[in-house]
């Protein structure tokens, strides 16, 4: 992980403030007899305890110790993340059923030290090389990548998501939408699912 970056001030690099780093300080430096202004940025996660993260992969892949090229394994090892693999098969195509199955198994266990739960999708690495975990996370915020169905937040918020999915109101909503859409329901299902979440949570797309 890159901890710090020091660069000469340039308008084209100001966007770094909103990326992985936070501006730390500005300093005037004399170089070759000319005074230049430099900025230093520190990584957002530099002082964050990442060992309090629990991650599960909705592909439920088995991370082999000898597979050193696996990007998900590198993410887990680099950030000291707890990896949760469900033992039973998740035989469903519906996203909310997958989420419920994993979170139900997680909340049955004692994870008092866990503050963040991440639903990840290893297929994300087919297109991207870097996955950034945002901090600090509030109880009403879900970080979502709809393309790969990556969802994460703090434990309280993920428990709220779990309770919503198993509620009768959510089931009634899905049945109502299924009756309206008929055979087209499966096509619109994922969009309808996220629209329902947006009524309850603040969604930050990642």
Residues in CB range of 8: below 8 A, 6 or more apart? 36, 37, 38
Helix, strand, coil percent values for the chain (each to nearest 5): 40, 25, 35
pLDDT of amino acid 204? 93
Computed over every residue of the chain, the mean pLDDT equals 80
pLDDT of amino acid 168? 95
pLDDT of amino acid 43? 56
Pairing state between β 34-43 and 82-83: unpaired
7 to 16, 20, 121, 132, 176: CA distances (angstroms) = 11, 15, 34, 22, 55
If residue 128 lies in a helix (H) or strand (E), which one and from where to where? none
Identify whether the C-beta of residue 162 lies closer than 8 Å to the C-beta of residue 103: yes
pLDDT of amino acid 129? 86
Identify whether the C-beta of residue 177 lies closer than 8 Å to the C-beta of residue 185: yes
Q: What are phi and psi of 175, to 5 degrees?
A: -65, -40
Q: Which of 188, 190, 167 is nearest to 179 (CA)?
A: 188
Low-confidence ranges of the chain (pLDDT < 50): 1, 3-4, 11-12, 15-21
């Amino acid at each position: 992980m890159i901890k710090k970056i020091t660069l000469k001030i340039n308008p084209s690099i100001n966007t770094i403030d909103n990326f992985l780093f936070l501006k730390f300080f500005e300093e005037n430096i004399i170089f070759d007899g000319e005074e230049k202004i430099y900025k230093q940025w520190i990584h957002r996660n530099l002082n964050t305890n990442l060992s309090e993260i629990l991650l599960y992969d909705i592909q439920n892949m088995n991370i082999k110790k000898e597979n050193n090229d696996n990007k998900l394994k590198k993410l887990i090892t680099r950030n000291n993340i707890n990896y949760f693999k469900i033992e039973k098969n998740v035989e469903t195509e519906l996203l909310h059923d997958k989420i419920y199955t994993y979170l139900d198994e997680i909340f049955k266990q004692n994870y008092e030290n866990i503050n963040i739960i991440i639903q990840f999708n290893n297929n994300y690495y087919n297109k991207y090389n870097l996955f950034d975990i945002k901090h600090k996370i509030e109880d009403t915020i879900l970080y979502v990548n709809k393309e790969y169905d990556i969802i994460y937040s703090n434990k309280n918020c993920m428990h709220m998501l779990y309770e919503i999915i198993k509620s009768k109101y959510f089931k009634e909503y899905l049945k109502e939408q299924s009756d309206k859409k008929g055979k087209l329901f499966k096509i619109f299902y994922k969009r309808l699912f996220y629209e329902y979440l947006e009524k309850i949570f603040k969604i930050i797309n990642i």
